[in-house]
Structure 1
Amino acid sequence: MKYLEEFQDPALARRLLEDVHATVTRPWALMEVCGGQTHSIIRHGIDQLLPDAVELIHGPGCPVCVTPLETIDKALAIAALPEVVFCSFGDMLRVPGTGRDLFRVKSDGGDVRVVYSPLDALDIARRTPDKQVVFFGIGFETTAPANAMTVHQARRLGVRNFSMLVSHVRVPPAIEAIMSSPHCRVQAFLAAGHVCSVMGTAEYPALAERFGVPVVVTGFEPLDILEGVRRAVHQLERGEHRVENAYPRAVPERGNPAALAILADVFEVTDRPWRGIGTIPGSGWRLAPAWREYDAEHRFGVTGPGTREPEACRSGEVLQGHIKPHECAAFGTTCTPRTPLGATMVSSEGACAAYYLYRRLGTGPAAATGKEATPVG
């Protein structure tokens, strides 16, 4: 298959679904790690088309959602400084900090700008030498290489008024933390294909063996996800726990050597707090000492105010797969995309945003959508 629409073919989807229905003999719980996969699942009704015995649990794979509140507050403090141009991707602007967000800082006079690449922020720094330009560098392994390359470029070009507020997180330690929880119900993982296209699959066999769970590397289109579910169910039914690459058109086993090299040069592994979850050892990256001059946190020495999550927000439980979004009492009432209590409601990859956008406001197909689930395609 060569074209995107072929990965949404209803006839092929039915064949995959029939295979899953014919194979499953007992209940299984699978977690899709990536928020992009969550949105695809909810948009196409994939979870409603699967057998009742196959449950999809939504994981913490939304980089906006897991950016810790203290980092958001530091971003707000830096963005409010009069000498700073603060650059960010658009999906961070409405993420609530303690009492406000970047939109509020902008409306109060802060120079907050939406960019589409860290190189855009570097270009602003070159054209605005009298200002300090800060890029908000968040994300999983997918966005980290571009951010590392931008820091490289800043040094090569001699741009001294550029820095980066870094909050990168890594997927394998998150999987380890999920599986180590006494409340974990996950029996298999659909791993994020774009992460593995950068990092490869080398970190997953040890996790699969240690916890006895299948890990299937999966893409984002309906047929990608269904094939991932099909392979995971077959492994579970056979009592296997291997790593399978169901996304070979994008994922080489050893990842991207150039990306891995620049990551190893610019970043170092660190413990990282995840919003709503807590600190996960070795789960993040920060700028290595040789690149510390481009670290905005180091440059500005900011400390956010005392952080405080809204008591009514249960996004941490959503991120860990303990509840579905509509099981939170605030969902769709006091918490909406216009008045979010947590990042999972405003992020383009957040589970709460997906449930709200596609009208999953209750339980069961009829309550969730008001009609039967629509087949993919």
Structure 2
Amino acid sequence: MKYLDEFSDPQLAGNLIEEIKAVTTRRWSIMEVCGGQTHSIIRHGIDQLLPDEIEMIHGPGCPVCVTPLEIIDKAMEIASRPGVIFCSFGDMLRVPGSDKDLFRVKSEGGDVRVVYSPLDALTIARDNPDRQVVFFGIGFETTAPANAMTVYQAKRLGVENFSLLVSHVLVPPAIAAIMESPTCRVQAFLAAGHVCSVMGTEEYPSLCEKYEIPIVVTGFEPLDILEGIRRTVLQLESGRHELENAYPRAVRAEGNAAARRMLTDVFEVTDRGWRGIGTIPDSGWQLSPGYRDYDAEHRFAVTGIHTAESAVCRSGEVLQGLIKPHECAAFGTLCTPRNPLGATMVSSEGACAAYYLYRRLEVSHA
């Protein structure tokens, strides 16, 4: 409760907002990369308390949301096969594929199980040696160490009936892709503290220099985010473009050395598709050659997948920060958390879900 109380203090929040208003003289567009930060901003109304000159743009920081449709469809195919136990975190079960989701696969007889850790899936594999057990390994750098450790353990223990369906993505290449887009309006970034707690901050100064943008690492509580915005605006107003760490209680420049060693051993960098965005070079991880036998895509030879996105869902534009969720004609009508058209309405970190839960704005019928 300590940080919940200390970092949600209304008086301190008000002071930070007044400081931001006092230094803001121009219009600025700031993107928070992390979906957890998006939910905190919308839930607490932070964007509405800021001066009108500051626009918060919601970035592609929801790991569920950016998992490519092709990977989702491959998950359906693997989970539907006899003899397979398909394990996943719960928020992936409602993500729509081309024509169904993992809940539908489960209702049709597939053995789909919700787990709370990839190590749970490894335990299931050890308890069911006659079945193939697959864990759906998605996410940014934050969740990758646990998945890497699980594959490492599977190999060390000789558990040959376990594999990982990998869809890991990386933040710095996404920032570069956003800045190089011809439609980019972003002038600064709030970077995700949990990612930097694993990977450190060494990749960000070069992005600041190349694109002349401030990047401020921050956390997820209201005061964390407001302090990050305050520092960002100060940089923008003074014409600076530097990396700042506004989350020192969790982030060190070098990151987590043990986690990084594990990641380097188990994974290697690869091009990766992002749902709604497309392929970003060198923006993801795949299992390295020493662990390729635990790659579910190779083990099950999943090929010939033909994907089909919803014709009316505009989640790709939401993920790129081009529109706000309620500007999509399907928002709150054809698309709801109970009947989602896109992953951004399903995930606990999705921008559309945040707007639906915390801010039922006018519904567009354009």
What TM-score do the two structures reach when normalised by structure 2? 0.98
- Segments of 5+ residues of structure 2 without an aligned counterpart are none
- How many matched pairs? 363
Q: Is 1:29–2:25 an aligned residue pair? A: no
Q: Do the aligned residues in 2 keep the contact of 1:132 with 1:161 (CA within 8 Å)?
A: yes
Secondary structure at the aligned position of 1:8 is classed as coil
Q: Do the aligned residues in 1 keep the contact of 2:170 with 2:283 (CA within 8 Å)?
A: yes
Question: Any idea what the Cα deviations from partners look like across 1:274-318, whole Å, max 9, x if unmatched?
Answer: 000000000000000110000000000012531000110100000
Q: Do the aligned residues in 1 keep the contact of 2:42 with 2:359 (CA within 8 Å)?
A: no
Q: What letter corresponds to residue 180 of structure 2 in structure 1?
A: S
Q: Do the aligned residues in 2 keep the contact of 1:95 with 1:343 (CA within 8 Å)?
A: yes
Question: Any idea what the Cα deviations from partners look like across 1:178-235, whole Å, max 9, x if unmatched?
Answer: 0001110000000000000000000000000000100000100000000000000000
- Segments of 5+ residues of structure 1 without an aligned counterpart are 364-377
Q: How far did 1:2 drift?
A: 5.0
Distance in 2 between the 1:360 and 1:209 partners?
Answer: 39
2:135 maps to what in 1? 135
1:7 maps to what in 2? 7
Question: Any idea what the Cα deviations from partners look like across 1:223-251, whole Å, max 9, x if unmatched?
Answer: 00000000000000000000000000000
Distance in 1 between the 2:196 and 2:362 partners?
Answer: 34
Q: What letter corresponds to residue 234 of structure 1 in structure 2?
A: L
Q: Is 1:309–2:270 an aligned residue pair? A: no
1:108 maps to what in 2? 108
* Range with greater deviation from structure 2 (297-306 or 250-259): 297-306
Q: Is 1:321–2:325 an aligned residue pair? A: no
Q: What letter corresponds to residue 202 of structure 2 in structure 1?
A: A
Distance in 2 between the 1:193 and 1:54 partners?
Answer: 22
2:242 maps to what in 1? 242
Secondary structure at the aligned position of 1:3 is classed as helix
Q: What letter corresponds to residue 88 of structure 2 in structure 1?
A: S
Q: Do the aligned residues in 1 keep the contact of 2:21 with 2:50 (CA within 8 Å)?
A: yes
- Pair 357,2 (structure 1): closer, same or farther in 2 beyond 3 Å: closer
Q: What letter corresponds to residue 75 of structure 2 in structure 1?
A: A
2:92 maps to what in 1? 92
2:169 maps to what in 1? 169
Distance in 1 between the 2:208 and 2:259 partners?
Answer: 25
Q: How far did 1:3 drift?
A: 3.1
Distance in 1 between the 2:157 and 2:289 partners?
Answer: 20
Distance in 1 between the 2:68 and 2:202 partners?
Answer: 27
- Pair 43,248 (structure 1): closer, same or farther in 2 beyond 3 Å: same
Distance in 1 between the 2:171 and 2:198 partners?
Answer: 12
Moved over 3 A (4+): none
Percent sequence identity is 77
Q: What letter corresponds to residue 147 of structure 1 in structure 2?
A: N
1:372 maps to what in 2? none
Distance in 1 between the 2:5 and 2:175 partners?
Answer: 31
State how 1:246-265 maps to structure 2 within 5 Å.
246-265=246-265
1:203 maps to what in 2? 203
Distance in 1 between the 2:167 and 2:304 partners?
Answer: 15
What TM-score do the two structures reach when normalised by structure 1? 0.95
Question: Any idea what the Cα deviations from partners look like across 1:88-122, whole Å, max 9, x if unmatched?
Answer: 00000000001000000000000000000000000
Q: Do the aligned residues in 2 keep the contact of 1:74 with 1:304 (CA within 8 Å)?
A: no
Q: How far did 1:157 drift?
A: 1.1
RMSD: 1.0
Q: How far did 1:150 drift?
A: 0.3
